[in-house]
Chains A and B, each alone.
Chain A
């Protein structure tokens, strides 16, 4: 019984792998991307750093990503809700 259960779990894990892996990759990507945005374009959220001038040359190349980041920020109701839902807390 235990053996069959393990086989079942094995197959569940193996088949689900790609989706979970991609999902995790996308989460990781989003998080790194957001940290990059905050560091590079802090002036957009009102934090003026001496690096602002130097970030300007990157601005045109990241225009669409900045827009997406701004939209994301507006739609977030609460940062905590966002962060907690990302942490898969299995019982």
Chain B
């Protein structure tokens, strides 16, 4: 079963480069790795300089990647719903339902929910196949919501399922028809969702294979936010696998400006090492060029087990 890792952190700290380099490092050690991008800006495609898309593609030997596009996912979902009503109602009612669905598509929670659904699907379908599934997630706030959604959704589905079974059973008693419960469409839909959610929760929570990796820079704001987020994750019993301090200045710097920055950095690094004592802390260097495919190799070395 896969080790499932979520890379999170403040916007701009370098999550994409770090998750990409980490995935690359694990793949070069012989592990089969799936890198999943949830970033709407297609930054993983940019990083590896090739188009990735919604299917799983092979980037390098052992290293696979896929992008989750929430708009496409929600469109697929809505199409399925629209298809399921075609035979059931009159044209007028179908029009009405379609209007409601169109309005729902624009609602604020849709994007995140569609993302979550695809995440669950990927986890359920591929966890036997890969040694590592690495999620390059969106900035911290979203990730935390995503990780607490399974529990909320499970409770909701359980309550609905029990209520629906009761109402259909009442109908059975009133009408005398005993076969209603198993054939009820809503019971079928809810049961399927419950099964998928339960499986995802087993993999994410019970298996102990889930881990969160915080990426940060040696700067006050990033550190503060990471401390807060650490506390939140601990409150929800989400295990923290490691911290990654990205963009560390090179050893040899000259000039007063850079010497000062190096001094500040050292101070923050010490703060990081004391705040997150006991956890693995990776240190990733700042490179002199933009991170593209050629630089991933260099960054990956910092993630290798010597």
Contacts and interface: CB of A to CB of B under 8 A. Distances in A.
A61 B110 CA distance: 20
A35 B156 contact: no
A41 to B, nearest CB: 10
B163 A39 contact: yes
A69 B12 CA distance: 48
Interface in B133-153: 145, 149, 152-153
B91 interface: no
A29 B81 contact: no
Contact of B163 (A32, A48, A51, A59): A32
A53 B103 CA distance: 11
A52 B101 CA distance: 11
A63 interface: yes
Q: Indicate the member of B78, B157, B185 with the most A CB atoms within 10 Å.
A: B185
A91 interface: no
Contacts of A40: 160
Nearest to B82: A60
B43 to A, nearest CB: 25
Q: Indicate the member of A36, A48, A51, A54 with the most B CB atoms within 10 Å.
A: A54
A50 B152 contact: yes
A5 B97 CA distance: 58
A22 interface: yes
Given A39-B163, A57-B189, A58-B189, A29 B89 contact: no
A29 to B, nearest CB: 4
Contact of B109 (A32, A48, A59): A48
Interface residues on B, range: 35 or more
Interface in B260-275: none
A19 to B, nearest CB: 12
Interface in B85-126: 85, 88-89, 93, 96-97, 100-101, 104, 107, 109-110, 112-114
A50 B149 contact: yes
Contacts, number: 91
Contacts of A26: 170, 174
Given A32-B166, A36-B160, A25 B174 contact: yes
A59 B102 CA distance: 13
B167 A29 contact: yes
Interface string A51-84: 1111011111111000000000000000000000
B173 interface: yes
Contact of A29 (B152, B171, B190): B171
A25 B153 CA distance: 30
A80 B112 CA distance: 38
B234 interface: no
A28 interface: yes
A51 B186 contact: no
B193 interface: yes
B77 interface: yes
A54 B84 CA distance: 15
Contacts of A52: 104, 107, 109, 113
A36 B152 contact: no
5 closest A-B pairs by beta carbon, nearest first, are: A53-B113, A29-B170, A60-B85, A36-B163, A61-B185
8 contacts: A26-B170, A29-B170, A50-B112, A51-B156, A60-B88, A63-B85, A63-B93, A63-B96
Interface of B: 74, 77-78, 80-81, 84-85, 88-89, 93, 96-97, 100-101, 104, 107, 109-110, 112-114, 145, 149, 152-153, 156-157, 159-160, 163-164, 166-167, 170-171, 173-174, 185-186, 189-190, 193
